[in-house]
Chain A
């Protein structure tokens, strides 16, 4: 009944590889007052669906406007009006492409004049079709042509006198949007902006306000009209930019997001004062928005205690439902950050997390949706609160809660934690999930995990036994490892991503002399990956037998055993060819000794040092050669690399105190007196050769 480790094979195999992708800081914006369903995308989606319906395509079919294809569909329907509309629309779209200016052929004066003539012809054509059944489409075409011709006043007039009377449709929405732009172009900025806000056209708003996003500019907007509809957009932009600046300090993020601007501490304080004024003047109908902005800025820049007091007031204030939700989310973040973890906290935070979880898509996942489509404001806020507040809060006091939070969030760190934590912690987590809930937090987490897709019971048991067994392997506790790994069938390993490596590689091969690269043919051969025994169990038994008999050995046979053990430790180290004994995946350049595992390379070096005491020249030469193997001492290499821009190549800078330098030097001393001469594997080693040249300088 070890169902809790719901780790899919693919997830496990890809786990350590995620390190290459970097870990995000989860700094989703918490101050978020509206859903960002950008107008342009929304329009494109709807018009595209309209075309699909017209052409008899399915909703899931791919569609890209093609004059030819739409005309063909129109012909089949004997729809002459649509044919002429599509033709004119295509002419208009061609001009739009030309205006983009990304072609090598820059237009001549004549071409520009021709472009204008074409636009005037389109406009005139559309004007004659305003009483047809496609009046909305033609009205839109008329306004589009006007827009490119710069006839903004005409567009204002057309909308106010004609198009505003049309029935509601996506075309009317687009005309309304062009009307807003025309208002802006003709100096009626505030009216235009209100429409952009109403339509969620944030691109246009950003174009208009790009250079007016400072405290001073927002103060001006507020003073002119405390209920200006653009204020939520401007305030959200300011507060989130402030967060970026704050995050940059905390997390050293770089690059930033589009439209970012630095907010200084002084400017943030000025904005806090404006927020206070807006609430106290009572001229706004959304005090919750101002109070929340104030609290969040205070939390980031000024006074956390004051922030807590202010956010607690914000949740009781008036505002849209989203503004009130936003206040509640930020209260959860601030209050949870500042309160001590105890039973009271668990009950309060558990209920709040349950609320936030239910608001997001995680609780009600929609099928066939991408990660981004699933991620609403509430999902992102949940993720941020787990990552930046809750996980740390429980890490030391109740680590099993942290793991459960990661699990509910869907964070891969949950698997990573289970993979690297102590055996006791894994068992504690199991007990937590199967035991009775004591607080609201427990109840929330258990219910949420229970609602997640469950794994087959036998698979879950195998994964659990393999996990515990592997943890004992990493601690070199062979008896315990054998006890757990004996319960895992070979078929389990046959299905692991590393089965091919396990089938073809041997832990007895000296890695400093022979690398076990796989041949191309083996990659594609089903037969090659067949396992006949459990690789981990076999290894554990072999090591148990070899190490437990050590005390009985003396002299040459003991030195030989030391060497043989060193070979095996080096092979199952993360840099060895048999890494799969200890880990599920390999990430070159990122792997290192993790918590709760023995440093296998260090143990290999210890054994090699003992083996090098032998008087047998052949074994001594092998041991000394092995001691200079770089993979066992990545931090003690004999030379460091420094980029030489003049040579456009790396220079090797000798590190004479490094462990590898000393090992190579010992090998050279030995070879000078080696009666049998230098072994072929030494003389053919390019690294040895390079070292010799540096050593003799």
Chain B
């Protein structure tokens, strides 16, 4: 066996151009079809001339498409194939989907699977309640500190990691973040006692979530499974109990089937 080759140290300006180019792609948020150069400059703080060169590169590689008549840019087919390559390789999606669909169908709740992305939780699979319009889609981000999904993720981390995140949430300093901290500890208590947590009454939207953590897939990331329903529906303790036990059953089923699927 040879000693593992070390990569040469990164060159600062190189990292910068790569990161900035990808930052432009990240600035296309959920639900926005196209952006103008000015929008991109405003969001990313990248100088206009540099941004134009990065946009040319992204366009040449089909990550963005330029709409000449409107002088706008929109994500192109490379974003699509990259995202689908990733989704196709997540075994946990394949294993979770039937359980999620069953839950969404039986209880009329939206069900999603999420994983941490920075200080947010990112949705990787979404089943909407039968006959209802989807509230989110794959790739949607939800704030980690304020959601049941994020709190369930945090609960599944080692104490040192939990401490780091709580510090970072406090460090953000705004009122929302500060008020989230007691909610996080309440969620931890619920998770320890009952195996799930709720985000009742803490979101501005009228949808509320109940979440459970899933075992790390392939020894890596922790995914969380969330059921969303209207605040009014979830106030009914019988309904809430049904959703919670449905989620716990689904999580147990996924936990059972995942190792076998990962080997296959």
Chains A and B belong together in one complex: no
Contacts from A to B (Cβ < 8 Å):
none
